[in-house]
Amino acid sequence: MAGFSDFDISPNLVQALKKKGLTKPFEVQLETIPETILGKDICCRAPTGSGKTLAFGIPLLERSKKAKSKLPTSLILTPTRELAEQIQNVLNPLAKSIDRDIVAIYGGTSYQPQLRRLKSGVDIVVACPGRLLDLLDRGSLSLENIDVVVVDEADRMADMGFIKPVRSILDKCPKKCQTILFSATLDNEVSEIVRLYQKNPINIRVGPEDISIENMQHMFWTVKNHGKATIAVEVINKCGRSMIFCRTRRGVDRLGKKMYEAGISNSVLHGGLKQGQRDRSMKEFSTGKSIALICTDVAARGIDIEGVNCIIHYDPPEDGKAYKHRSGRTARAGSEGLVISLAQKSQQKLYGKIQTEVGIDYHFKSPDMRSLPQLDFEPGELNKKRNSNRNGGSRRRRGKGNSRRGKRRGPPRKGKGGPARKNKRRGPPRKGKGGPARKNKRRGPPRKGKGRRKNR
């Protein structure tokens, strides 16, 4: 098998890849890199986790020119903030090795750091469509010098309603620029992007055409709504590292609090969090500081997290496609995984339709922990409480039995040892304040014309 050194890329880039332990390319990289380096348009169907970030990232870095202020030379479009951060983190060490700069641009964060980077002259921009269009409208950057543009997770863009913004962005790029498109599926609106913006593209197909769920053990359990959290806790205690999908942000926060109270270290992830909170949640789960990631469908696609043992559908997915993408967070790279759907009786009809759409047929059963495989994980992870959800998604009320966060250790400060004195001022009374309160009585001489009326 060819190595990265066999491609027509700079030695510094090869060395940077070697430092990251990358010497042998994956299939999608073998198929894509040689053609992309030559400047040809690429239309590639490849699943998440196949190595596509480096498949487009290596040739993009190799072809990127130095940029002037507000005039980047390469652009990568992604559907979510998490994916934009993930791409930047993967490519940034490689970019530094060849003196190239990269910045991620997305909403939910301050404009100023992004504006400063663009003004300083950044070479590669990784962007979500909404914030990029906003900055273009403000005149904060121009795409007139773009030589290479990548549309990643194009099918996800279509699902999220981003195809029209993507087309607006591509219209602002030079017609002669190289266009690279990656998608898990190539139908409907995605095929329109190919037809309108690519010139004789090289078509590459890697992996199965649809997301495979064959390596997963599927279970459908009948559970009452109030019993779902207890069952989920028992599953995590048995299986370890898990992702739990809820439909709403409020549901995520509520379940996160219940998990914390049950002693399960967890992180929460949904679109209502600030970017710093989302980054912290992803980092804690990916590094093992939390054993459960409770999330909405924002984490169902485009995010590559290794070692997820179990997926729990706490709330039902919208359809079979969403079921596959949620479930696809486990059983990656040929490994096995467990997928459990917690279904109320009123939800069984929907789950039946989902089973038909994805091509499986399982009966609904009562929860049975004995049927779960015992998977390898660190038991100590279960009781870690240093995680982003120690407040259960919101500020935890201090009550009886709860430890007070930030409590000062050591002896009480001077004057702080006794019981609290409610609104009582220490020290001698202020002048004129020692006696009983005088009701509505003004001190000092009467105002002019306001003295006591004489009796006539």
Per-residue three-class SS string for 186-244: CCCHHHHHHHHHCCCCEEEECCCCCCCCCCEEEEEEECCHHHHHHHHHHHHHHHCCEEE
What's the CATH fold of domain 4-205?
Rossmann fold (3.40.50)
Copy the structure tokens of residue 186: 């190539």
- Indicate the pLDDT class of residue 82, thresholds 50, 70 and 90: confident
Identical fold for domains 4-205 and 216-383, yes or no, is yes
Whether pLDDT at 377 is above 70: no
What's the CATH fold of domain 216-383?
Rossmann fold (3.40.50)
Task: State the pTM of this model.
Answer: 0.67
- Indicate the pLDDT class of residue 426, thresholds 50, 70 and 90: low
Among residues 392, 394, 386, the alpha carbon closest in space to that of 288 is found at 386
Burial (Cβ within 10 Å: 0-12, 13-18, ≥19) of residue 424: exposed
Percent of the chain residues topping a pLDDT of 90 = 57
Among residues 41, 43, 32, 42, the alpha carbon closest in space to that of 9 is found at 32
Residue 434, pLDDT score = 52
| Bridge-based pairing state of the strands 74-77 and 148-151 | parallel
Lowest mean per-residue pLDDT among 50-54, 312-316, 427-431: 427-431
Percent of the chain residues topping a pLDDT of 70 = 79
Contacts of 198 (CB under 8 A, 6+ apart): 41, 43, 179, 181
- Indicate the pLDDT class of residue 441, thresholds 50, 70 and 90: low
- Write the DSSP assignment of 411-441 as a string of letters: SPPTT-SS---TTPPPSSPPTT-SSPPPTTP
- Indicate the pLDDT class of residue 406, thresholds 50, 70 and 90: very low
Between 260 and 211, the more confident residue is 260
Whether pLDDT at 69 is above 60: yes
Whether pLDDT at 191 is above 50: yes
- Over residues 294-322, the pLDDT tens digits come to 999 887 766 667 789 999 999 999 998 88
CA separation, residue 346 to residues 237, 238, 245, 357 (Å): 27, 27, 18, 19
Residue 393, pLDDT score = 45
Is the alpha carbon torsion for 41, 46, 48, 51 positive or negative? negative
Averaged confidence pLDDT in the chain? 84
- Over residues 138-184, the pLDDT tens digits come to 999 999 999 999 999 998 898 888 999 999 999 999 999 999 999 88
Among residues 206, 194, 209, 207, the alpha carbon closest in space to that of 41 is found at 194
- Over residues 101-122, the pLDDT tens digits come to 999 999 988 999 999 999 999 9
CA atoms within a 13 Å half-sphere pointing along the CA-CB vector of 165: 20
CA separation, residue 380 to residues 150, 158, 290, 377, 385 (Å): 42, 41, 10, 9, 11
Whether pLDDT at 100 is above 60: yes
Whether pLDDT at 382 is above 60: no
Cβ neighbours, 10 Å, residue 238: 18
Residue 297, pLDDT score = 87
Among residues 327, 267, 279, 337, the alpha carbon closest in space to that of 301 is found at 327
Residue 372, pLDDT score = 87
Between 278 and 77, the more confident residue is 77
**Where is 76: in which H helix or E strand?**
strand 74-77
Domain extent listing, the chain: 4-205, 216-383
